[in-house]
A and B are shown apart, each in its own frame.
Chain A
Amino acid sequence: MVEEYNLDTNVVTRRAWRCNKQLKDEDKWDVEIGDPQPIYNKEENMMIRENSNQPFISRRITKTNLEWRIRNLPYSIETYSVMADRDSRCLIVRTTNKKYYKKLEIPDLDRLNLIPEQENVSFSHKFNTLIITYKKPKKLVEMEKTILEEIKQVQPKHQQDMNNCKPS
């Protein structure tokens, strides 16, 4: 797992998990927070993938909220409903015109064994993007604080230093 922090705001900007299923497989990253990993030379052995103008999701975390941005959703705000589902511990995004449906998992809450609450959910729609915000519960804020203290002990490196590093 790799996390990137913004040192000015002390907020996680990127969190990704490495997953390679096979022995000697190329590294693949499962991006939890931040923009999805761009895939290069995808045309060569592409089987099936979603069209580029289909909705896609990126997650980010702010000081007070967990956010999801679902881009490429052109329908107006009345179309959407976002429900906190206690059984599956997900947020369920529905559309009245039956064009989009998504179960959003909330790994941050799962890790603390918290159940999503409906009153923390709000959403807005702007520029073809549906933005769902979930207010961080107290427990999560506290945990992030303790993690941050731990992280502060790590010496940060500048981009230049990284460039000098010669990977074999």
Chain B
Amino acid sequence: MAAAAAAKIAEVRETTRVERIGAHSHIRGLGLDESLEARHVSQGLVGQVTARRAVGIVLQMVRDGRIAGRAVLLAGQPGTGKTALATALAAALGLDTPFTSMAGSEIYSLEMSKTEALTQAIRKSIGVRIKEETEIIEGEVVEVQIERPATGVGTKVGKLILKTTDMETVYDLGGKMIDSILKEKVQSGDVITIDKATGKITRLGRSFARARDYDATGQQTRFVQCPEGELQKGKKWCTLVWYESRINIIEFIGDTGEIKTEVREQINGKVAEWREEGKAEIIPGVLFIDEVHMLDIECFSFLNRALENEMSPIVIMATNRGITKIRGTTYKSPHGIPLDLLDRTIIIPTQPYEEKELREILSIRCEEEDCQMSDNALTVLTRISKETSLRYGMQLIMTSSLIARKRKAHEVDVEDIKRAYQLFFDEGRSVQFLREYQQEFMFNELDDKDDLEMETN
């Protein structure tokens, strides 16, 4: 009874656990119907209908898994939902497809070369599903004998007698196995399976032959038939591993975090062998590179080459730049991406949101951030978002809600929004402020030159 009560408490905790709220935690999918047509407001996404439809087609492409090495570029102004679309794609793909998300600037490290970081990201986005056959012992427990040494120290000795309807075998138990048998409270009459390699014990239920024993049985006790035939059976099941998951190959990684080419080749060879034997199948995933203009010319040419490999995933890039310098060169190119790579991509543009859509997004965010807002306040907030930016508008939700709570109101009103708007500057007003009071700030004498450019190289 006490155990049941404890379980109940654990359950309650589970439901009331508060998740941290991120910028895109309201997104649960792409919001498409069966014919890949985008619903206007669905699964946390609003508007952007053509872009969503296009991403839906990319999704289909990934699911089919036949086409390798495509690149997709999401291009659009800041705050038009590029990252949101990628997040939605990841959510729609589900957990079974590898999805790697990285920012363009993540690859710069003193310890690892840029291309190595990219290679690792690319390979992390390829999954391998391995069908493995393991030996499983399945039978009814006739007897468990576990002897402890009289002194209390030393190894325990254990024996387990299992039977099926056709045979009976005595097994010797190792120390670990004894522990797990004691933990599982295996007793005679139980029907169990034991995974021979990992030693995992699963209780299938009680044998029907013991159904007449007047034991005190719980409600959940299942009665099953005693298995037939041999005790030891080979069974197949699937495991999904990321191609270059660090857990598998951690011992091969050198001090620099770089994976040696020989190791890669070894892995490739092994996977090819498994594929030949029909034991493994490749699941291509998605690599998402945000802020792709932060990559430099070397990375772009590397990507060009990497995309041609048949083992490459579908690469989705996002950028908010227009015609700008390619990093590492003095050449200008659209989106800061060299034309040859741009030529290999399919480009999905995202449009700025309409006022109506902004309102929808803001109300979704209000719900996500647990904040009640009156209609008027929402209108004002939409207006502000339209004038400044959507991100600024979203910032005001939480701040104004805290202001509203200070005056003990449970709904955010226009007053609170106003106050938050006065307290926190948006980018436009901040610039204006700087213009006015520039003289008072430090180092302002440097600012005379107007053509001072950001150094990115």
A binds B: yes
| Contact across chains for B174 and A50 when beta carbons are under 8 A apart | no
A47→B198 CA distance, assembly (Å): 8
How many angstroms from the CA of A24 to the CA of B263 in the assembled complex?
A: 10
Distance of A49 Cα from B166 Cα, bound (Å): 19
11 A-B contacts (beta carbon < 8 Å): A21-B132, A46-B174, A47-B174, A47-B177, A47-B197, A48-B173, A48-B177, A50-B172, A51-B170, A99-B168, A101-B166
B131 to chain A, nearest CB (A): 12
Is A23 on the interface with B (CB-CB < 8 A)? yes
Structural contact, A51 and B174, CB atoms closer than 8 A:
no
1/0 per residue, CB under 8 A from B, across A1-33: the answer is 000000000000000000001011000000000
A49 and B172 in contact, given A23-B267, A23-B270 (Cβ under 8 angstroms): yes
A112 to chain B, nearest CB (A): 21
Please report which residues of chain A, range 118-147, place their CB below 8 angstroms from some CB of chain B when the two chains form the complex. Answer: none
The docked-state distance in angstroms from the alpha carbon of A53 to that of B270 is 38
- Top 7 closest A-B pairs, CB basis? A101-B166, A101-B167, A46-B174, A47-B199, A51-B170, A47-B174, A47-B177
Bound Cα distance from A50 to B248, whole angstroms: 31
Q: How far is the CB of A95 from chain B (nearest CB, A)?
A: 8
- Rounded to whole angstroms, the CA-CA distance of A47 and B176 in the bound complex is 6
The contact of B174 among A48, A53, A95, A102, by CB within 8 Å, is: A48
Count B interface residues, CB 8 Å: 31
Among B159, B177, B198, point to the contact of A51 (Cβ < 8 A). Answer: B159
Q: Roughly how many angstroms separate A24 CA and B270 CA in the complex, as a whole number?
A: 10
**Which of chain A's residues have a CB closer than 8 A to the CB of B198?**
47
Whether B166 pairs with A98 at a CB distance below 8 angstroms is: yes
In the complex, the answer to whether B170 meets A48 with C-beta atoms within 8 Å is no
Output the nearest chain B residue to A53 by Cβ-Cβ distance. B170
Distance in angstroms from B352 CB to nearest chain A CB is 50
B160 A50 Cβ-Cβ under 8 A: no
Whether B246 sits at the interface, judged by CB under 8 Å, is: no
Are the C-beta atoms of A99 and B266 separated by less than 8 Å?
no
Distance (whole angstroms) from the CB of B16 to the closest CB of chain A: 40
A45 at the interface (CB under 8 A from B): yes
A100, B168: Cα distance in complex, Å: 6
B168 adjacent to A45 (CB under 8 Å) = no
Nearest Cβ on chain A to B3's Cβ, whole angstroms: 28
Distance of A21 Cα from B249 Cα, bound (Å)? 15
Q: How many Å lie between the Cα of A52 and that of B266 in the bound state?
A: 38
Q: Is B301 an interface residue (CB 8 A)?
A: no
Bound complex: CA of A54 vs CA of B162, how far in Å?
12
B199–A50 CB distance below 8 A: no
A102 lies within 8 A of B172 (CB): no
Known pairs A47-B173, A98-B166 / 7 extra A-B pairs, C-beta < 8 Å: A21-B132, A47-B174, A47-B177, A48-B137, A50-B170, A101-B166, A101-B230
Known: A21-B132, A23-B270, A103-B230. A48 touches B167 (CB 8 A): no
